[in-house]
Structure 1
């Protein structure tokens, strides 16, 4: 009987700690992400910056492709982007009448790509992209013509 009386305070104490620990877990913030992949993109992350570059590039390409190509002499081209080893990533065709609006945006994109490459030590294939020789209108779309074509 004496041993039984000694176990009662221990039983009460353990039950009290159990209830306290169970109630304290209810205060956990349920707004936290369940997985690190659900974490919002950090503005200083490489993935975020790449997405911003992709948006700018898509915007430039979309704006230039909205115009129908009927007369190739009304179109021109410019280098766009920058490879880590140097040189452009690509060339883009656009109407000459949009030159004042598109060229500054193309230059902005190119400068941002250069800064991105330096910041994240990006490595490229170092293949030189040859500039096109002219623009040709095919089915209403501007096509860049290279020396090999």
Structure 2
């Protein structure tokens, strides 16, 4: 009977330990992956020209370690806004994960959104 309790106690102790594979790690986001995504978004935006009548807009871009965007992208209102928002959302999530994975730090300043954007020679341009 003593052996039964010893074996029972040992099995309970062993079950309380959780074994994990130390080789498992989340997919690391690299700077190269971020740069590729950024270029993809910029190329998409640049494939649309603006006109005075069509106008321009902006979107928050990137993720600062302290929170908030790193910058703002300007774009022509002729883009597919839903598609652009999805691309930027995915980039921002990747950038945030990269910040976490690399323990990134920043100055925690908050960039201000553009106050004036104009179409200059078919390109949306921040005036201020």
Q: Which of 112, 128, 137 is residue 94 of structure 2 equivalent to?
A: 112
Which residue is equivalent to 2:103?
A: 121
1:72–1:137 Cα contact (<8 Å) kept? no
Secondary structure at 2:94 match in 1: helix
Q: Which of 60, 71, 77 is residue 58 of structure 2 equivalent to?
A: 77
Shift of 1:127: 2.0
TM-score, with length taken from structure 1: 0.61
Aligned-partner Cα distance in 2 for 1:53–1:87: 17
Aligned-partner Cα distance in 2 for 1:71–1:103: 23
Aligned-partner Cα distance in 2 for 1:114–1:86: 9
Aligned-partner Cα distance in 1 for 2:62–2:52: 26
Q: Which of 93, 116, 130 is residue 74 of structure 2 equivalent to?
A: 93
Tell me how large the CA RMSD over aligned residues is: 2.0
Aligned-partner Cα distance in 2 for 1:59–1:116: 18
1:75–1:96 Cα contact (<8 Å) kept? yes
- Structure having the higher helix fraction is 1
Aligned-partner Cα distance in 2 for 1:136–1:103: 21
Q: Which runs of 5+ in 1 are unaligned?
A: 1-43
1:89–1:129 Cα contact (<8 Å) kept? yes
Higher Cα Rg, which structure: 1
Secondary structure at 1:121 match in 2: coil
Q: Which runs of 4+ in 1 moved over 3 A?
A: none
Instruction: Encode CA deviations 1:57-102: one digit per residue, 9 max, x unaligned.
Output: 1110111012122226532111010111111111011223420111
Shift of 1:45: 5.8
Aligned-partner Cα distance in 1 for 2:42–2:126: 14
Q: Which runs of 5+ in 2 are unaligned?
A: 1-26
TM-score, with length taken from structure 2: 0.70
Higher relative contact order (CA 8 A, sep 6+): 2
Which residue is equivalent to 1:31?
A: none
